Amino acid sequence: MNRIFDRAARRMGQGLFWATVLLVAVPGEAAAAVPAESQLGFNTISFLVWGALVMWMCAGFTMLESGSVRTKNASVICLKNIGLYSIAGLAFYFIGYNLMYVDVSGWIGTVTFLYGPSGDEMALLDGDEGATAAVVSNGYSVMSDWFFQMVFVATAASIVSGALAERVKLWSFFAFITVLTAIIYPIVGAWTWGGGWLSEMGFQDFAGSTIVHSTGGWAALAGTIVVGARRGKFRADGSVKSTPPSNVPVVTLGVFILWLGWFGFNGGSQLALGGAVDAVAMSNVLVNTNLAAAAGVMAAISTARPIFGRVDLLAGLNGAIAGLVAITAGPDMVDHYWAVIIGAVGGIVFTVGMKVMEMLKLDDVVGAVPAHLVAGAWGTLAVCITGGGDFGVQLLGVLAIGVFVFVVSLALWFLLQKMVGVRVSETVEEIGQDSAELGIEAYPEFVVMPDADDVEELRRS
């Protein structure tokens, strides 16, 4: 039996080798012309593989957030992240995709439930070979596109999770994420990628600096205002209490996972892999993505000392994210040095934005708002430099999406506050959500040291 498998493996390897040789060696039109059915296969596989890589970003967000919070809240972070990914998938399947892409009238798509393969695809699966031409003419499998779009909405939802960590109620958070992924994000998508009014005006956002990241950032900002800061984060004298991450290596791992996932985020947004043009364009996209992230790291580290008075590890890690967010609106440029500039500015605006958040006494545990909202807005406007974007249209898109998402999110958070409450009690916040809400600790063998400020307060009293 093993010999049979060995022979099959050798034959498969030989077949792949000679197929590659033929593709490279055959000159002229025969090598250049990729059959339409093959293009459908390449495009579909591209959607599925890149989409799976974007889904892996959820693991990155989980690591980033769980390592950033105190150990007493790490388990809840894990539950929130797998929960929000599941909610995003269900909400986008039942209603969100239709609002975003199906028969968009300029403002919103068709308000219908469920989405599935096309009639031609169903006929093909039932054995009707006559449907092949119609399926091939679409260029990709219908549900492969749905899958790729779905993982993007999950990314927007993940941004909200980190900003509100350690004090937001689990089920209130899940309720907000349901509305965000089923209605708020799809409406923004309908205006832009769905062919709505901003798209008709010429708004450009290649992979979602504003559509995905600023949308998540605006929703997170509204939440931080309504939910409020963690207890003791801002002292009576106005100073900021340091809340260092509980697991720095895990936070760093999370950022590297996000960096890796971003290659799928931006590379997959080429939306095709059917020929030489797509291959070259996708290569440029990945190189620009990497350059912007690296520049964001170095710029954030360099500006952290004059702003925070220290070389800040978390600023450097978030600088990578800010650089990635900034380049996402226009990673298809051919002058790679612009990617370095755009990413570096992204790292700088993140660092400044984090300082402004502290001055306004807005508690963002992972720096999600400056990294995604602020850097996303900058990246969208930067398309005017390299991608031929119209500044007025780009600015209008940033403002229109910002106002819509922030106002609706703020109203939804206030509604949840009145109906069921959005913040855990002081007792739950003190002992941690892991023990109070889940009855399980992430690190049960760890001995938690008392907070220095709490000890000092007890001594004074």
Radius of gyration of the chain (CA): 24
| Alpha carbons 111 and 42: distance in angstroms, whole number | 32
Prediction pTM value = 0.89
Which CATH number does the domain housing residue 89 bear?
1.10.3430.10
Asked if residue 3 is part of any domain, the answer here is no
- The pLDDT value given to residue 207: 96
Asked if residue 239 is part of any domain, the answer here is yes
Number of domains observed in the structure of the chain? 1
Contact (CB, 8 A) for 313 and 357: no
Asked if residue 33 is part of any domain, the answer here is no
Asked if residue 229 is part of any domain, the answer here is yes
Asked if residue 461 is part of any domain, the answer here is no
Residues sharing a CB contact under 8 Å with residue 257, sequence separation 6 or more, in sequence order: 56, 57, 59, 60, 63
Asked if residue 15 is part of any domain, the answer here is no
Digit-by-digit pLDDT tens for the chain (461 residues) are: 444 445 444 544 444 443 433 333 344 443 446 788 889 999 999 999 999 999 999 999 999 999 999 999 999 999 999 999 999 999 999 999 999 999 998 899 988 888 889 999 999 999 988 899 999 999 999 999 999 999 999 999 999 999 999 999 999 999 999 999 999 999 999 999 999 999 999 999 999 999 999 999 999 999 999 999 999 888 887 788 888 889 999 999 999 999 999 999 999 999 988 888 999 999 999 999 999 999 999 999 999 989 988 888 999 999 999 999 999 999 999 899 999 999 999 999 999 999 999 999 999 999 999 999 999 999 999 999 888 889 999 999 999 999 999 999 999 999 999 999 999 999 999 999 998 888 888 888 775 666 666 666 666 76
Asked if residue 2 is part of any domain, the answer here is no
- The pLDDT value given to residue 309: 84
Asked if residue 163 is part of any domain, the answer here is yes
Task: Look at the block and give the residue holding tokens 């520049």.
Answer: 295
DSSP state of 209: I
Structural domain span for residue 74: 42-454
| Alpha carbons 398 and 390: distance in angstroms, whole number | 12
Tokens of 209: 């600096």
- The pLDDT value given to residue 444: 81
